[in-house]
Amino acid sequence: EAKLGISATFPYLPWQFLAMGLFGGVATVGGVLDWRYHRDPLNLKLSKKERNAEAAALGLGGLPMFMLMWLAMVSDRPHHFLIPIVVVLIYTVVAICYDEFVFHIRRCGKTETFFHRMLVLGNGLAWLAWFHFIFVK
């Protein structure tokens, strides 16, 4: 508990955890809204290449990033994870940009673009709060 900064008095958690919850919530809502948007047959325009690009961003970027960040958070030497985290971050940003600029830039309307911004910016700000908790606190 002490390592995570949990206290017996309000606000109980470090501000970074509260920010992760807020921005992660925004990202989750954006992702769910985008998923629901694409369940409508009129909006189902995802190609196999686009689905593969999104799966690569999540599977080769998001999941390893979560594991590395978790390991750094519980480690006594989080700086040992810094280079792998930055490498995975670069890959993830490139994969997301590829998806957005190759598949979405011409096809998406205002609604879908808003959902994507919620998802990407929410995740980015949540990640920055987590990174700050691990490496700056």
Q: What is the pTM of this model?
A: 0.83
CA gap 117, 135 in Å, rounded: 26
Burial class of residue 59 (count of CB atoms within 10 Å of its CB; 0-12, 13-18, 19+): exposed
**Cα-Cα-Cα-Cα dihedral sign, residues 86, 51, 120, 58:** negative
Q: What is the pLDDT of residues 2-59, one digit of tens each?
A: 566 666 666 678 899 999 999 999 999 999 998 898 888 777 777 889 889 989 998 9
Inter-residue contact 34 to 112 (CB < 8 Å) = yes
Which single residue is written with the structure tokens 């955890």? Answer: 17
In this predicted structure, the answer to whether residue 121 has a pLDDT above a threshold of 80 is yes
